[in-house]
Amino acid sequence: MEQFQNDVAARDRGGPAQPLLAIRDLVKHFGSRRGWSGPWVGAKAGQRRGAVRAVDGVSFDVAKGETLGIVGESGCGKSTLARLVIQIIAADAGEVLFDGEAVGTSAPDLAAYRREVQMVFQDSYASLNPRLTIEDTVAFGPRVHGLSRRAAIVRAHDLISRVGLDPARFAARYPHELSGGQRQRVNIARALALQPRLLILDEAVSALDKSIEAQVLNLLVDLKAEFGLTYIFISHDLNVVRFMSDRVMVMYLGKVAELGACDVILASPRHPYTMALLASMPSMDPDRRTSEAPLFGDPPNPIDPPSGCRFHTRCRFAAPVCAATAPALAEVGPVHRVACLMATPGSGHPQAGVPEAA
Amino acid sequence: MSGEPIVDVQDLTVDFLGGVKSLRAVAGVDLTLRSGEVLALLGESGSGKTVTLRALMRLLPERRALIGGKVLVDGHDVRALSKSGLTAYRGRTIAMIFQEPGLALDPVYRVGDQIAEAVMHHEGASRRDARVRALALFERVRIPSAARRLDNYAHEMSGGMRQRAMIALALACRPKVLLADEPTTALDATVQIQVLLLLRELQRELGLAVIFVTHDIGVATEIADRIAVMYAGRIVETGACRDVIRTPAHPYTIGLLASRAGRALAKGERLAAIPGSPPDLANLPQGCAFAPRCERAQPVCEAAVPAEVAVSDGHCARCVFLHKSEATA
């Protein structure tokens, strides 16, 4: 509907060049006070039990109208990052700037921010209230934000049909009467109900069957164009991220490993972890199966992350310097940044400064 | 031994009783598997792949799940096994690994003791010998510092290590058939490939017959010799991995392969999604269960369940159009 798009355009403050979202040195440690932190780490006598360093100094921008994909394994901090961005949890340090303005935590300001930024979660069932019908679910947000019940229901019906469900059939149903794919469509409709400009999709298609996944991905692409949205698309599935994203950010243990244009990163990654992630994707060719695992072992626990570069314990290019020095995100190409000492000239890594890092 | 299939399933049906009406989760599945062969059962949730697997091990609730058809595994008539026969059958002839090792392993016993218990029970080994076997198994599945890890509880291990421990437990009594129910789905990508490679290596060395249930075509391609695609309780296509991936015959398989986000796509191109949603098992159509979602569907599809048609050697699919082209050819 045109009214929606005009609305979004009217709310644009900084113009197209201003990033919609700017994240500066965001930090979140869980359980930073002394406490029980699981027996598998830090249990040696006298050692201070550490915090889970879920997000540890992350900075990035999201331009207006783009889709930023975030990939990484469990424990890399991608979901915590999403929750920090939408302010479900408060950061320990760092800044979230939305269209040039710092997002505070004071109540009126936050309510306005929540109208602009919405989220879709992985578990389509757990994220819906089982006692609300579909139309009440979608109308709930607008009503809280001051729309009349009638107007909210009208908007809900419009959105329900926009995500591919027939309001006449579905509006009065409860979540348990829907399939997983249908429920996820409802979650998307609910997220759009406040006419947000930024949508955070945290593993939003990961729990769906493959044939449904493709439908929902297509829907997301359509809605983005229709409502002029910006997406942060979080997934562990590189194939899905490749399809959705303009730029990709690869995270490892609470830090950004690599950030750049989707095509560039997935075609010629510079960080050894990105290379390993790509090589870990099952091959689709029965005659060229993977013969060697690119990485050994599991990702380390973020409670006690390795010193220096956090990937050095699993990296096959690791040199002694990697255990001592934490690499900064270094520019290696247009909008392509890598946190690897091999990409940092003069870092002391044997392969640093070599133009083509193996 | 060589020519005889170790798993021979004919016309397997599983009905879940109770509720208003019974539900047919598996509606006539034929499977044969030889030693040293890996079969991937590929399908979506509700397609009956896990129920098929559980029927092979009689893990379904006896009173609520009615199993029909012939189920022969290594000469055992699984449906007729007595309680003690079943205990001997599980573990020694057939073993299973699950998607969530955190739930499959007992949380209050050390992992090493769980493995030793199985060896003691099935082979009458002493505790000491059983622990030696457990250690050897842990080393075999490449758990680092195996001796120390034997004394771990399941929650003290990482996801990948737990899955390795469960594989060790499944192999403890040298089974001939291994059933794997989405064993890598809950794992991270870099760990998943390690576990797949480990399974492939163990399978080859031990000459295991493996049935590997997955929803991921990529995973099936990595592990399987043959692929059987399931839809609404039936195998709709089966054949050598290469044939099914390269020249899929059933519209569902074709659709699944076409809808993958991994294919090289130009920016802005749409995915070729399969429309509609998986069928309701309580209200299955008379004919082909895929017909309501199939773009080639004709009235003939709704008449009866399509028979299996051989597309090429060992490659079959259930689609009426294959039948027709076959007949006219």
β-bridge mates for residue A22, sequence order: A61, A97
> Count H helices, E strands: chain A?
12, 12
From the list B144, B193, B265, the residue facing A290 with the nearest CB is: B193
Whether B222 and A282 lie within 8 Å, measured CB to CB: yes
Could you tell me the maximum CA-CA distance found in chain B, to the nearest angstrom? 68
Q: Determine contact, residues A72/A236, Cβ cutoff 8 Å.
A: yes
The pLDDT mean for chain B works out to 91
Please name the residue of chain B whose CA is at the shortest distance from the CA of residue A291.
B197
pLDDT tens column, B165-217: 999 999 999 999 999 999 998 888 899 999 999 999 999 999 999 999 999 99
User: How far B130 CA lies from chain A's nearest CA (Å)?
Assistant: 26
β-bridge mates for residue B227, sequence order: B40, B239
Please name the residue of chain A whose CA is at the shortest distance from the CA of residue B262.
A239
From the list B197, B216, B242, the residue facing A290 with the nearest CB is: B197
The residue among B191, B214, B267, B290 with the most chain A CBs within 10 A of its CB, best to mutate, is B191
Whether A282 and B219 lie within 8 Å, measured CB to CB: yes
Please name the residue of chain A whose CA is at the shortest distance from the CA of residue B240.
A286
User: How far A59 CA lies from chain B's nearest CA (Å)?
Assistant: 24
Residues of B in contact with A73 (CB under 8 A): 188-191
β-bridge mates for residue A62, sequence order: A21
Whether B260 and A210 lie within 8 Å, measured CB to CB: yes
- This prediction has a pTM of 0.88
In order of start, what are the domains of chain A with their CATH numbers?
Answer: 2-31+50-268 (3.40.50.300), 281-358 (no CATH)
Whether A281 and B246 lie within 8 Å, measured CB to CB: no
pLDDT tens column, A171-188: 999 999 998 899 999 999
pLDDT higher than 50, residue A41: no
Q: Determine contact, residues B37/B61, Cβ cutoff 8 Å.
A: no
pLDDT tens column, A258-277: 999 999 999 999 999 999 99
Question: How large is the ipTM?
Answer: 0.86
- End-to-end CA gap in chain B: 38
Whether B216 and A282 lie within 8 Å, measured CB to CB: yes
- B258 phi, psi to nearest 5 deg: -75, -25
Whether A215 and B190 lie within 8 Å, measured CB to CB: no
Please name the residue of chain A whose CA is at the shortest distance from the CA of residue B274.
A211
pLDDT tens column, B132-156: 999 999 999 999 999 999 999 999 9
Mean pLDDT, residues A60-66: 95
Residues of B in contact with A296 (CB under 8 A): 194
pLDDT tens column, A151-168: 999 999 999 999 999 999
pLDDT higher than 80, residue A37: no
- Nearest C-alpha neighbor of A62 from the set A116, A111, A98: A98
Whether A282 and B196 lie within 8 Å, measured CB to CB: yes
The rounded distance, in Å, linking the Cα atoms of B131 and B214 is 32
pLDDT tens column, A305-322: 899 999 999 999 999 999
Q: Report CA Rg, chain B.
A: 21
Whether B261 and A237 lie within 8 Å, measured CB to CB: yes
The rounded distance, in Å, linking the Cα atoms of B72 and A73 is 41
pLDDT-derived band at A40 (thresholds 50, 70, 90) equals very low
User: How far B121 CA lies from chain A's nearest CA (Å)?
Assistant: 31
pLDDT higher than 90, residue B259: no
DSSP per-residue letters across A139-168:
HHHHHHTT--HHHHHHHHHHHHHHTT--HH
- Nearest C-alpha neighbor of A97 from the set A29, A19, A37: A19
pLDDT tens column, B40-94: 999 988 899 999 999 999 999 988 999 999 999 999 999 999 999 999 999 999 9
Long-range CB contacts (within 8 A, 24+) of B308-311:
B311/B239, B311/B243, B311/B247, B311/B249
The pLDDT mean for chain A works out to 87
Whether B242 and A287 lie within 8 Å, measured CB to CB: yes
Q: Determine contact, residues B32/B8, Cβ cutoff 8 Å.
A: yes
The rounded distance, in Å, linking the Cα atoms of B134 and B23 is 41
User: How far B70 CA lies from chain A's nearest CA (Å)?
Assistant: 30
Please name the residue of chain B whose CA is at the shortest distance from the CA of residue A246.
B267
**Helix A180-192 to helix A210-227 angle, to the nearest 10 degrees?**
20
pLDDT higher than 90, residue A348: no
